[in-house]
Amino acid sequence: MNVHKAYYEIVRDVLALNIGEGALPQGTRLYVAAVADRLSVSRSPVKRALELLSDEGVVTRDGARGYVVGRTVVHDTTRPNLHLLDLHLPGNETTALVPPSWEMIVQKVDQEMMNAIPFGIYQISESGICDHFKVSRTVTREVLARLHDRGTISKDRASHWIAGPLSARMLDDLHDIRQIVEPAALDRAAPALDLGMVAAMRGRAASALSAEQTLTEDMLDRLETDLHVTCLSPLRNLRLAQVVRNAQLSFVVNRLFATYIARHDETAMLLEHRLVLDHLAIRDGTGAAMALRHHLDADHIRTRDRLKVLAVFGDPSIAPYLTRLV
Partner 1 sequence: MQRPLRVIGRSELLPLPIRQKAAEELDFPVEFELIDGIEGLQRVVTRPESFDVYLQWHTVDLIWTARCIQAIDLARLKTGPEIMAAAQSQSGVSKVIDTVFDKLFVQPDGTLARTPSDRLSMLPLVHGVDSFGYLAALRDGLAPNEAATWGWMLDPRWAGQVGLIGDPVLGIIEGALAVEASRGLSFEDIGNLSVEEVDEVIDTLIHKKKIGHFKGVWSQAEDAVRLIQRGGVVLQTIFSPAAAKLRGLGVPIVISTPAEGCRGWHSDLCISAATGGETLDAAYDFLNWCQDGWAGACFARQGYYATFPDRIRGHLHPDEWDYWYGGIRAARPLPDPEGRICVPTGHRREGGSHRERMSRARVWNTFMDEHTHVVRRWRDFLEA
**Rounded Cα–Cα distance for residues 107 and 103 (Å):** 6
Residue of 75, 169, 236, 239 that binds partner 1 (CB under 8 A): 169
Cβ(123)–Cβ(113) below 8 Å: no
Beta bridge partners of 68: 29, 60
Smallest gap, in angstroms, from Cβ of residue 260 to partner 1? 7
Consecutive H or E run containing 194? none
**64 binds partner 1 per the rule CB under 8 A:** no
Report if residue 209 touches partner 1, rule: CB under 8 A: no
Q: Which stretch binds partner 1 (CB under 8 A): 10-18, 60-68, 259-267, 287-295?
A: 259-267
Q: Please, is 315 exposed, middle or buried when counting C-beta atoms within 10 Å of its C-beta (0-12, 13-18, 19+)?
A: exposed
The verdict on 295 binding partner 1 (CB under 8 A) reads no
Considering the complex, state which of residue 14 and residue 113 has its C-beta at the smaller distance from partner 1: 113
Residue of 116, 97, 78, 81 whose CA lies nearest to 12: 97
CB of 176 closer than 8 Å to CB of 246: no
Residues within window 87-126 making contact with partner 1, judged by CB under 8 A: 118-121
Selected from 165, 175, 190, 198, the binder of partner 1 by CB under 8 A is 165
Q: Which one, 32 or 258, has the nearer CB to partner 1?
A: 258
Among 73, 135, 311, 316, binds partner 1 (CB under 8 A): 311
User: Which CB atom, from 144 or from 307, has the smaller least distance to partner 1?
Assistant: 307
CB within 8 A of 230, min separation 6: which ones? Answer: 1, 197, 201
**Distance between CA atoms of 326 and 156, rounded to whole angstroms?**
14
Q: Binding pattern to partner 1, positions 238-257, x when CB under 8 A?
A: -------------------x
Binding interface with partner 1 (CB under 8 A): 118-121, 164-169, 257, 260-265, 267-268, 302, 304-309, 311-314, 325-326
